[in-house]
Structure 1
Amino acid sequence: MSARTGRPWSRLLPNTAPWRSSRDFRLTWTSGTVTLLGSVFTMTAIPLQVADLTGSPLAVGAVGAVELVPTVLLGLYGGVLADRADRRTVALATEAALAVLSALLLVNAVLGTPALWPLYAAAGCAAALQGLQQPSVEAMIPRLVPHDQLVAAGALLSLRWSVAGVAAPATAGLVIATAGVPAAYLVDLATFLVSIALLAQVRPLPSERDAEAPQLRELAVGVRYVLRRPELAGTYLADLAATVFALPTVLFPFLAAESDALWALGLLYSAAAAGSLLAAATGGWTERVHRHGRLVLLSAALVGAATAAAAVCPGGIRSVLVCLAVAGAANWVGDTFRTAIWNQSIPDELRGRAAGLELLTGSAGPALGDVRAGSLAARYGVRAALRSGGLLCVASTGVLAAALPALWRYDPRTDPHVAAVRAAAARVAPRP
C-alpha cells in the first residue's frame, strides 16, 4: 500500500495510486464515469416523457418495473459470462448496444408525436444490457491494478458514483428544461461514443478458463461458493439490510409535502449523494483500516440509525437533510469495504458470478424497500415508515454481527482467501 506524506489532512484525500500505476484503470474509470454521467440524462428523460405522454404516475412507476426483471435475470447470466468471456469485449459490445438504444430514443423524441412503447422497450433493453455488462466491468478491476491497491481503487470507483449523484441530475434537469428532451438523449449518445473510444484502448482481458459457452448452471457454483463463506455472504446480507429497510427514496415526495417544504424535494434526492461525495473526498483513511467486515456492519448500522433519526429529530426538513447525508456517507463507507472484501478475496474465475449476485441484491433491495416503505407509510404514516425502517436496519445488522462472527473478525492480513488471491495475482501481475 503506497504511503503518502505531507500535512496530516492530506492523509484523508483519496489515494490516486491506482490511477498512477495502471493506464488501463485510468481508461476504465474515465469510461465508466463518462457513461454514468450520460446515463443520468436518459434516466431523467424517459420518466419525464412517459409523464408527458400519459399524465399517469402509475405509468411512470411502471418504468421501474420494466427495468427490474431484465436487470436481475441478465445480471445473473452476465456474471456467468464474465467468468467465461473476455471482460473487455463484453463491456465494449454492451456499451455499443446501449449507444444504439440512445440513438433510437433520440429519433423517437424528435418525431412530431413520440410513441410511448419505445420508451418502455428501451428501458427494458437498457436494463438487460447493463445487467450483462456490470459483472464484467466490476470483475475487470482486480486484473487492472495491483492487489495492494484494490481498496484505493474501490474508493475511486465509489467516488464517481457520488459525483454523478450530486451533479448529473441537476445538470440533466437544466439541459432538458432549456434544450428539450432530445438534447438529453443526444448527450447520452455522445458520452457512449466517448466511453467506447476509451474502452477500446484497454488491453484484452480473456478468461483464464476453457473457452466454452457459458451455462446458467455455472451460477450455482458461484452461489455455493458464497454460501460456504459466511463472511462473504454477510456482505450481501448487510447490503440488503440497508437497502430494504433504510432506503426511503419512495417517501421523499410525501416527506417534503408533509413538512410543507416542496422546495426541498430535489435536495432530499441528492442529500445522500452529497454525504457520499464528502465521505469519498475524505476517504484516504480507509486504506489504514483492516477490520473490513466490522466496518461493513457498523456502516450499515449507522445508515439505519441516521434514517431513524431523520424521522424524529427536531429542526424540520433541514435536520432530515443532514441525517440523509450522514446515511449516504455511511453507505459509501460500507460500499468501499464490501468492494474491498470482494475484490481481495474472491478468485478471478468466480469474480464475475459474485458480481452477478451483487447486482441481484443491489437491484432487489431497493425495489423491496420501496414496497416496504410505501405500504407502511400508507397505513401508519411517512414518519413511522422512516423510523421503523431505520430501526429494523440497526436490529438486523446486530443479528448479522452475532450470527456471522467470521464477518465481524474479517481481516485481509490474516484471511486465507485473501492470501490465495494475492498469490495468484502475483503470478499474473497487471501491466501498467
Structure 2
Amino acid sequence: MSAPEPETPQPKRGLRGLLVDTTPLRASPAFARLWAGSAVAQIGAQITIVTVGLHIYHLTGSTLAVSLVALWAIGPMILAGFIGGALADTFDRRTVALITACAAWVSIGTLTTIAFLGVTATWPYYALAAVNAASATILGATRGAILPQLLPAQLLPAAAALTGITMGLAVTVGPAVAGVLVAGVGYPWTYLADAVLFTGAFLGIASLPRMTPTGPGAAPGLGSVLESLRFLKTAPNVRATFVWDLVAMTLGNPRVVFPAAGALVLGGGAVTVGALTASFAIGALVSSLFSGPLGRVHRQGRAVTYAIAVFGVFTALFGIVLLITFLTAGTQDGRAPIVPAIVLAGLALAGTGAADNVSSVFRSTILQTAAPDEVRGRMQGLFYVVVAGGPRVGDLIAGTVATTIALWAPPLLGGIAIVGIMLILARSASGFLHYDARHPTP
C-alpha cells in the first residue's frame, strides 16, 4: 500500500503557523485511528512503567534494585528489535502488530494477577516487565514501518509531532495517575488500569488495511540481522540518529533516582515521583503543540544535535536542584514535600522533555524518509532498541552512580557530559549536520 497524495499545504501565519500541523489526521483516516488508539494505550503503558519502579522500591528500598528492571529488559528488547524488524519487513505489518499487542496485553494481565496475589519476590515483576518491553519494541518498530505507507514524506514531521502529543499526554497523565492510584488503592488496581487502557491499541491496529512490505522481504534470522547491519554501515545519516540518541538516553536519564528523590530529598513520596515524570512529558507536550515551525526545518541533523545539547543543559539543571536541596535540607525518610525545590526540578525536567521531543521528531523523520522500505522494519526495530533500550542502560548507569556517589550525581554529571559530546560532534560530524530533508539520503 502506498501513501496517499495530500493536498498541497498552504503557509500559515501567526499563531496558526506555530501550532501543530494536523494535516496527517485529515489526509489519512487510517493514521488518525492508529494515532487515537495508541494515545489511549500509551497512557496505560506509562502507568505501568512508573508503578513497577515504585513497587520494586517498595519491596526492596533500593534504587539499584529499581535500575535492575533495565538489566532484565535489555536483552529481550535487543532480540525483539532485530527479530521484530525482520518480521515487519517480511509479513503483513498489521498482523505482526496485532499478535504483538496480544503478547503485551497478556504480560500486563499476568502482572496484575501476581500483584493481586501479593507476590513479594521481585523476579516475576522483572521478568514480566521484560516481556512487556520486548513486545513494545516489536509493536513500536512495526508502527514506525507502517507510517510511511499511510502518509507521504512531507507529512512525516507533522505525524511525528502528533505522536509527540500523544506521548506527552501519556507521560503527563500516566505517571500522575500512577502516583495517585498507588497512594490511594495500591499496586494491583494500578496495574489493572493499564490492562484496561491497553485495549485501545487493538482498536487502532485492527482498523488498518493490509500493510504488506513493498520490498523483497527478509526471513527472520541471523542473515536478516547481518543484512540490516550491512545497510547501516553504509548509511551514516541513519546511523547518526542512533548514536546521538544513545548519548542522550544513556547519560541523561535520571528517572531511576525519582523514587528515592521523592522519599528522601524532595519529599512527597509517590506523588512527587508522578509529578517529576509528568513534568518531562509536559515539556514534550508543549513543544509538540507548538511544533508548526518544525515542518519548515530542512537541516534536520543540525536540529537534532542542538536539541540534544539543550537536553543536556536542562538535565544538568535538574541535578543542580537536587544537589542544592541536599546541601541545604539534607535527607529525611518520609519528609513533607519541599515545594520550591519540586517546582524547580519540574521546570528543569520540562525543559528536557521539550528538547527530547524536538530531537525525536527529526530523528524519526530522517529514519522514515532516508531508509528504503525493504529495510525500514529492521531500522525501526533498531530505532526502538535505542529509544527503549538506551534509557534502560541509562537506568543501570544512573542507579550505579547514585548508589556510589549521590542522587544528584547522575543528572548533573550526565548532563555536562552530553553537552560536551554534542559540542565535539558538532565540529566533527559535518555530514550529518548538513543533512537536507529535501534530498534525504541514508
Q: Normalising by structure 1, what TM-score?
A: 0.86
Shift in CA distance, 86/115, structure 1 to aligned 2, threshold 3 Å? farther
Which of 69, 74, 79 pairs up with 2:85? 79
Measured in 2, the distance between the counterparts of 1:348 and 1:412 equals: 17
Q: What is the match of residue 347 of structure 1? A: 372
Mapped to 2, the partners of 1:260 and 1:115 lie a distance apart of 27
Equivalent-residue separation in structure 2 for 1:212 and 1:205 (angstroms) = 15
How far 1:238 sits from its partner (Å)? 1.1
Q: What is aligned with 2:352?
A: 327
- In structure 1, how many angstroms separate the alpha carbons of the residues matched to 2:402 and 2:291? 35
Gaps of 5+ in 1: 418-432
Q: Structure 2 residue aligned with 1:174, among 174, 180, 184?
A: 180
Paired residue type of 1:199: I
Match of 1:3 in 2: 10
Distance in 2 between residues matched to 1:133 and 1:260, nearest whole Å: 36
Shift in CA distance, 211/68, structure 1 to aligned 2, threshold 3 Å: closer
Aligned to 1:305: 313
Residue of structure 1 in register with 2:336 after alignment: none
Cross-structure match for 2:225:
219
Paired residue for 2:246? 240
Matches within 5 A, 1:275-286: 275-286=283-294
Q: 1: CA distance between counterparts of 2:170 and 2:54?
A: 19
Matched letter for residue 24 of structure 1: A
Q: Check whether the contact 1:243–1:369 (CA below 8 A) recurs between aligned residues.
A: yes
Counterpart Cα distance in 2 of 1:261 and 1:103: 32
Cα deviation for residue 146 of structure 1 reads: 1.8
**In 2 relative to 1, CA 144–371 (structure 1 residues): closer, same or farther, beyond 3 Å?**
same
Distance 1:265 1:336 in 2: 26
Which residue of 381, 385, 388 corresponds with 1:356? 381
Deviation at 1:74, TM superposition (A): 1.3
TM-score after normalising by structure 2: 0.84
Which of 53, 69, 74 aligns to 1:68? It is 74
Name the stretch that deviates more: 313-322 or 161-170: 313-322
Moved more, 255-264 or 338-347: 255-264
Q: Report if the CA contact (8 A) 1:22-1:145 is conserved.
A: yes
Deviation at 1:152, TM superposition (A): 0.5
CA distance in 2, matches of 1:129, 1:393: 30
Moved more, 131-140 or 363-372: 363-372
Residues 35/223 of structure 1: CA separation in 2 closer, same or farther (3 Å cut): same
Q: What is aligned with 2:46?
A: 40
Match of 1:148? 154
Distance 1:146 1:279 in 2: 23
1:276 Cα deviation from its structure 2 partner: 1.0
Say whether the 8 Å CA contact 1:232–1:407 is kept in structure 2.
no
CA contact (8 A) 1:11 1:285 kept: yes
Q: Would the aligned equivalents of 1:231 and 1:404 in 2 still touch at CA under 8 Å?
A: no
SS at match of 1:28: helix
For 2:261 and 2:366, how far apart are their aligned partners in 1?
A: 36
Deviation of the 1:206 alpha carbon? 1.2
| Identity level (%) | 33
Q: Which moved more, 1:328-337 or 1:209-218?
A: 209-218
For the Cα contact (< 8 Å) 1:98–1:126, is it kept in 2? yes
Seen in structure 2, the aligned counterparts of structure 1 residues 249 and 183 have a Cα distance that, compared at 3 Å, is: closer
1:366 paired with 2:421, answer no
1:259-270 matches, within 5 Å, as 260-262=266-268, 264-270=272-278
Of the candidates 377, 386, 390, which is equivalent to residue 411 of structure 2?
386
- Residue by residue, what CA displacement relative to the aligned partner does 1:298-317 show, whole Å, maximum 9, x if unpaired? 00111112223344578855
Structure 2 counterpart of 1:30, from 36, 42, 61: 36
- 1:430: which partner in 2? none
- What does residue 109 of structure 2 align with? 103
Secondary structure in structure 2 of the residue aligned to 1:273: helix
Q: 1:366 to 1:124 in 2, by over 3 A?
A: closer
Question: Which of 393, 402, 411 is 2:427 aligned to?
Answer: 402
- How far did residue 380 of structure 1 move? 4.8
Is the deviation greater in 366-375 or in 152-161? 366-375
The equivalent residue for 1:127 is: 133
Contact 1:76–1:131 at 8 Å: present in 2 too? no
| Cα distance between partner residues in 2 of 1:311 and 1:106 | 34
Residue aligned with 1:32, SS: helix
Q: Which residue of 2 aligns with 1:231?
A: 237
CA deviation string 1:83-140 (max 9, x = no partner): 11111111101112222333333443444x4474543442232223223322111111
Cα gap change, 1:342 to 1:127, in 2 (>3 Å): same
Query: Is 2:208 the partner of 1:202?
Result: yes
Q: Within 1, Cα distance between the matches of 2:342 and 2:112?
A: 38
